[in-house]
A and B are shown apart, each in its own frame.
Chain A
Amino acid sequence: MTPPSAPTPMRRIASMLYRRPNFYLLLLLTPPLLWFGIIYIGSLLSLLWQGFYTFDDFTMTVSTDLTLQNFVNLFQPANYDIILRTLGMAIAVTLFSALLAFPVAYYMARCCSERMKAVFYIGVMLPMWASYIVKVYAWTLLLSKDGVLYWFASLLHLDGVVDALLQLPGIGGKTLSTSNLGRFLVFTYIWLPFMILPIQAVLERLPPSVLQASADLGATPRQTLLHVILPLAVPGVAAGSIFTFSLTLGDYIVPQLVGPPGYFLGSMVYAQQGAIGNMPMAAAFTLVPIVLIAVYLSIVKRMGAFDAL
């Protein structure tokens, strides 16, 4: 087995790359680095930079004079309302999703045969990936007057209950599709799968011996759930909440289509750059969800969310 007589050019390149692993690494990384560095990070930084530009309210034009005024304007009371409205919805959606997701995840992780688990897994994956806009559209069909939900309500003689719910301050409204309740349902529906999967993953990793040990030491199933399973599921809930929280926070399509009028963070940014044409203010506004999400991430990181992703 003597070495081949003359190495081909391709083999010579291969050997050259083999001898210079750092150069090879650089070669692999260059295309993605250029793409993300220039296109994405470049755009992001230039957007934030625009937050320092000046917008002239009278001429509706942007000048490149640098100012902090846009960031100061964020602290107007009207903007507090927007932030609180969005934040409140994000938190409510997160809590309710966790409540709905837990039994599904628990059932998937611990009570199913392999086959049933696969059914549930696909059953959660498909709605998760099914078109976002179609899902929102489906809910406009469901919530509309004469729509499916109203029909079911009257079928079960629950019209009174629906009306009573809609009378409640804060979540009520004229109809389901213009109420906060409706918007809340849509958000919960859309982001629920993102909560189920991380919880399921965490619960699946729980060794059965831990639960057996708890039972062996005299705990009732309820006590085991409360003192063993729930604490151990916290990282999964925290990981899932990253999605439910930040996706709700940044959304502007759902608030536009379902629920009462009034800006959300996303729709405010959208309106600023689009209808109003105040790009500097829009840029400054994008900082709000970024900061809120950063704060949120730093909280859930302590709960072990990143290990459960």
Chain B
Amino acid sequence: MRSDLTAGGAESPSWLLRLAAWGGLVFLHFPILIILLYAFNTEEAAFSFPPKGFTLHWFSVAFGREDVLEAIGLSLKIACLATVIAMVLGTLAAAALYRRSFFGKESLTLMMVLPIALPGIITGLALLNGFKQLGIEPGVLTIVIGHATFCVVIVYNNVVARFRRTSYSLIEASMDLGADGWQTFRYIILPNLSSALLAGGMLAFALSFDELIVTTFTAGHEKPLPLWLLNQLTRPRDVPVTNVVAMLVMLVTMVPVLLAYLLSRGGDSVAGSGK
């Protein structure tokens, strides 16, 4: 066994392990490849496999559709707003909680995790109910509030990890050298946080853009992209357009994650773990 260990500490795996590992990775990516494939399918109505031909036709059809464009615009708007709110609240919470311990700190962290720890249907139903009690009509505002609520913890996790890795003596050193709280925030804290903050924001954006369950409850008459997609699934006649939109949604949710990973590489590896 000792001879199996190379200098880098990596073991040489048996073919069975290698097969299982790569098999798992293929399993994870196969459906995604199928989506990519079907978006270029010439066929109009069926799910039949293999596809009969290759076309870009459905892209132009999809982008000509008013409802598709509206859904995309709406989802982008919601994701941007929710991300901004989540970034502000998550950073404030991280700044408050990372260092000092005080009574009730644990319950505060739990409270932030709850919206994604509890099944989405509970969060959604609770929010719907809460809005009703306050007499707020479901719409863009309520969707944004809902999304921001479960995105906070994503930003918080990224930022608090960076705070913890940043030695507190940096802040003391800055003050020692004559900088007040504002200057220290501007010149020391913000530059050190920025990549973690950006990574957290990207993940929050991806999460919000794709969120379906809470959105179902808080959307009212609005139709953001995931809801539009869900609706399409019960409507087989639009299959080609659905395929194209599905591919786009997938890309929009995957690219920010890739960027977030690149941003936090070399820093902490927390970005993205624990969606």
Contact B32 A144 (CB under 8 A): no
Contact B119 A29 (CB under 8 A): no
Interface size of A as a range: 35 or more
Among B10-29, those with CB < 8 Å from A are: 10-13, 17-18, 20-21, 24-25, 27-29
Contact A309 B274 (CB under 8 A): yes
Contact A141 B47 (CB under 8 A): yes
Residues in A with CB closer than 8 Å to B149 are 35-36, 39-40
Interface size of B as a range: 35 or more
Q: Is A113's beta carbon under 8 Å from chain B?
A: yes
Residues in A with CB closer than 8 Å to B258 are 122, 126
Residues in B with CB closer than 8 Å to A247 are 119
Q: Is A249's beta carbon under 8 Å from chain B?
A: yes
Residues in B with CB closer than 8 Å to A41 are 111
Q: Is B53's beta carbon under 8 Å from chain A?
A: no
Among B147-171, those with CB < 8 Å from A are: 148-149, 152
Contact A43 B111 (CB under 8 A): no
Whole-angstrom CA separation of A92 from B153 in the bound complex: 29
Q: List 12 A-B contacts (CB under 8 A).
A: A28-B96, A35-B148, A40-B114, A43-B130, A126-B32, A129-B210, A129-B254, A134-B210, A138-B246, A140-B47, A215-B2, A253-B213
Q: Which residues of B contact A (CB under 8 A)?
A: 1-2, 4-5, 8-13, 17-18, 20-21, 24-25, 27-32, 34-35, 38, 46-50, 88-90, 92-93, 95-96, 100, 102, 108, 111-112, 114-115, 117-123, 125-131, 133, 145, 148-149, 152, 180-182, 203, 206-207, 209-210, 212-213, 226, 229-230, 233, 242, 246-247, 249-250, 252-254, 257-258, 261, 265, 269, 272-275
Q: A104-B20, A137-B229, A146-B46 are in contact. List 11 more A-B contacts (CB 8 A).
A: A25-B96, A32-B108, A33-B108, A35-B148, A42-B130, A129-B254, A131-B210, A215-B1, A250-B119, A293-B119, A309-B274
